[in-house]
Amino acid sequence: MKIIIDFDGPIVDVSPRYYFIYRALTEKYGATHTLSKDEYWSLKRKRTPIPEILKLSGLPASAHLTYINERLSIIENKEFLAYDRLYPFVPGVIKELSVFSEIYIVTLRNRRENLSWQLSELDIGHLFPNVYSLDNNDGTWEVKKRLVLDAQIMENGEKTYFVGDTEADVLAANDLNAISVAVESGIRNREMLEALNPDFIIPDISTIGKLIRDNNDTKSA
């Protein structure tokens, strides 16, 4: 069995990093109403366009493009990746899954060197010997699909679960005929995930082992 897992959302909570950058840049460029973290994250999880969030924050329209470009240029810098928080259940879950499956991280991160640094900083690099990303990618589900194909993860036809928190994960999984598992611990809320029609939706990966066992038992019954 193979299990493909996205990094941001299933493995780490990125909301502290996203909010810190949002707050720093909106204040830097003159926003008059910086949103609270809950307000900001709720909008992000509904996939609210960045310009709309900036408008709600009272940031002058003339500064929107500057904000967007600077955010994109710094969001994977090490100093900001340090704000990500590893979900405490992750090490135990990955060790459990590794007993009966091969684990692959497939992520749309744009800076592999910084991703490797973060895995080391979080002391989880040893849990993930198979990590695939592509520098300077355009963040689409097609890129994620290509990463899976290029790595030949599904070449032998084994049952494959594809776990992630966004449309890129679910669409890639469905196109590859993998079993798609969407998690609510990332950057999309349940309503957004349901619209994508994944095979399963779970709160986070703490229950993925039980889901797989139950699903396998059902299929073999």
pTM, to two decimals? 0.94
**Are the beta carbons of 160 and 2 closer than 8 angstroms?**
yes
Is residue 65 classed exposed, middle or buried when 0-12, 13-18 and 19+ CB atoms within 10 A define those classes?
exposed
pLDDT tens column, 30-63: 999 999 999 999 999 999 999 999 999 999 999 9
pLDDT in tens, 186-205: 999 999 999 999 999 999 99
221 pLDDT more than 80: no
How many CA atoms are closer than 13 Å to the CA of 214, on its beta-carbon side? 6
